[in-house]
Amino acid sequence: MAVELAPGPQVAELASRTAEFVREIVIPIEVEHGGVVRDEAVRLELQDAAKAAGVFAPHVGAEFGGHGLDMRSRAVVFEEAGYSLLGPLALNIAAPDEGNMHMLEIIATDRQKERYLRPLAAGAVRSCFAMTEPAPGAGSDPAALKTRAVRAEGGWRIDGRKWFITGADGAGFAICMARTSDQAAVSTGAAGSVSTGAAGATMFLVDADNPGMKIVRHIDTLDESLYGGHLEVAFEECFVSDDAVLGEVDGGFRYAQVRLGPARMTHCMRWLGIARRAQDIAVARAAERELFGSRLGELGMVQQMIADNEIDIAASRGLIRQACWELDQGRSAGQATSIAKTFCAEAIWRVVDRSLQICGSLGVSGDVLLSRFLREVRPFRIYDGPSEAHRWSIARRVLRHHDGQR
């Protein structure tokens, strides 16, 4: 089957409108705030502007106010939004809300969609996704899940502790993953790549005003731009009714695949936008700075860094679009998303790092946002599956394929 990667005219037009919106409206606000916004008024101002520009929530279906883009189309539009740290927030396609909307649209009941997806898609509330736990709980290995939900009259009682839950402070609700059966899941790899036949976990929709869900602390982290920060959250005798179950009981690991594969790719798309921005800043500097009797950009080692950036950006884009094409065909695309995620997370880091190097001391100053970008992209080599966990999965699939051929 031919792989069709080029966007159609409507998507190309939306991408170009998004690029203009980011350039004209978002970047001035980003620069004013140093790329980090903690203020609801600014979030709403950005989102109102995106609505007015007709670029808001491009990923959700028209019935929820969006453009219903498939994964390949998202790749084009999200990259443009990601050109600013605040572009994804403005378009309501930032993590974790975007991944949660994707999953709710596919799995939630009609009632759950009205109650949770509709306000989330409109930007009226935010959400969080609570899977990772402090050691010895779930991290790279989701099968280590310790948070437990047990049957209680009329529903379930959840107990456990989660951490690194992005956006939990101020979120309207959480999607919490808890163990509901002792049948152990079998890990096959990177964060969430669990044998889909294995039972054991269930996803629950937990309203933030539930007295059993408590914010423990804000975790001080290298990155700061993901809205709401990263939180430690306790679930203590947290009672939820039966209609809080998202999908089927014990189907949690299977549903995690619905979220994690596409969410890996949308992270890559957004951070690819930042890599392009870093390269544009570096190229502008290389074109104007005079050094040793020539322009910086005429020195061979600088040209090599510029060329390597272009190669990393182009290769990342190609791998994202290939994996998105597979996802659009309804495939799980486990191998393609692992390859793309690992490559992009490392390539995007390299691009930002080289760009900062080209700019010299200017690069580490607050006068350009390169040092902020560097801090923001580094954790991407850890979340959505660390590079090592993905390499482990990739190699195991290759070996299984080899064994199957013998």
Ligand X SMILES: Cc1cc2nc3c(=O)[nH]c(=O)nc-3n(C[C@H](O)[C@H](O)[C@H](O)COP(=O)(O)OP(=O)(O)OC[C@H]3O[C@@H](n4cnc5c(N)ncnc54)[C@H](O)[C@@H]3O)c2cc1C
Per CB under 6 A, the list member of 139, 160, 251, 262 interacting with ligand X is 139
Per CB under 6 A, the list member of 50, 76, 165, 201 interacting with ligand X is 165
Per CB under 6 A, the list member of 90, 130, 275, 281 interacting with ligand X is 130
Site for ligand X in 203-222 (CB under 6 A): 221
Kindly give, in sequence order, each residue whose CB lies less than 8 Å from that of residue 176, ignoring residues fewer than 6 positions away. 130, 147, 158, 162, 203, 204, 206, 213, 235
Q: Of 281, 264, 398, 290, which Cα lies nearest the Cα of 344?
A: 264
Question: How many helical (H) and strand (E) elements, i.e. helices and strands, does the chain have?
Answer: 14, 12
Give yes or no for residue 271 binding ligand X (CB under 6 A).
Answer: no
- Please, what's the b/e burial string for 115-131 (b: 16 or more CB within 10 A of its CB; e: otherwise)? bbbbbbbbbebbbbbbb
Give yes or no for residue 256 binding ligand X (CB under 6 A).
Answer: no
Give yes or no for residue 140 binding ligand X (CB under 6 A).
Answer: yes
Binding mask 81-100 for ligand X (x = CB under 6 A): ---------------x----
- Hey, what's the torsion of the CAs at 7, 320, 22, 98, to 10 degrees? 100
Give yes or no for residue 345 binding ligand X (CB under 6 A).
Answer: no
Q: How far is the CB of 167 from ligand X (least distance, A)?
A: 7
Q: Which stretch binds ligand X (CB under 6 A): 21-29, 314-322, 336-344, 381-389?
A: 381-389
Per CB under 6 A, the list member of 151, 214, 388, 401 interacting with ligand X is 388
Q: E strand or H helix at 233, and its extent?
A: strand 230-241
Give yes or no for residue 309 binding ligand X (CB under 6 A).
Answer: no
Please return the burial class of 406, using the count of CB atoms within 10 Å of its CB with bins 0-12, 13-18 and 19+: exposed
Per CB under 6 A, the list member of 166, 279, 322, 355 interacting with ligand X is 166
Q: Are 142 and 179 in contact (CB under 8 A)?
A: no
Per CB under 6 A, the list member of 21, 64, 129, 271 interacting with ligand X is 129
Kindly give, in sequence order, each residue whose CB lies less than 8 Å from that of residue 91, ignoring residues fewer than 6 positions away. 18, 50, 55, 56, 57, 58, 81
DSSP string, 316-380: HHHHHHHHHHHHHTT---HHHHHHHHHHHHHHHHHHHHHHHHHTTHHHHSTTSSHHHHHHHHGGG
Q: How far is the CB of 291 from ligand X (least distance, A)?
A: 37
Give yes or no for residue 114 binding ligand X (CB under 6 A).
Answer: no
Q: E strand or H helix at 174, and its extent?
A: strand 173-179
Binding mask 224-243 for ligand X (x = CB under 6 A): ------x-------------
Q: Are 164 and 118 in contact (CB under 8 A)?
A: no
Give yes or no for residue 68 binding ligand X (CB under 6 A).
Answer: no
Q: Are 125 and 198 in contact (CB under 8 A)?
A: no
Q: How far is the CB of 386 from ligand X (least distance, A)?
A: 4
Which residue number, 223 or 232, has a Cβ lying nearer to ligand X?
223
Q: Which stretch binds ligand X (CB under 6 A): 69-77, 246-254, 256-264, 383-391?
A: 383-391
Which residue number, 274 or 296, has a Cβ lying nearer to ligand X?
274
Which residue number, 108 or 131, has a Cβ lying nearer to ligand X?
131
DSSP 3-state of 93: coil
Give yes or no for residue 382 binding ligand X (CB under 6 A).
Answer: yes
Indicate the residue whose CB is closest to ligand X. 139
Give yes or no for residue 131 binding ligand X (CB under 6 A).
Answer: yes
- Hey, what's the torsion of the CAs at 166, 169, 172, 176, to 10 degrees? 50
Which residue number, 164 or 227, has a Cβ lying nearer to ligand X?
164
Provide φ and ψ at 218, rounded to 5°: -85, 130
Per CB under 6 A, the list member of 181, 386, 394, 397 interacting with ligand X is 386
Q: How far is the CB of 17 from ligand X (least distance, A)?
A: 29
Tokens of 51: 């609505």
Q: Are 111 and 76 in contact (CB under 8 A)?
A: no
Contact positions vs ligand X (CB under 6 A): 96, 128-132, 139-140, 164-166, 191, 221, 223, 230, 379, 382-383, 386, 388-389, 392
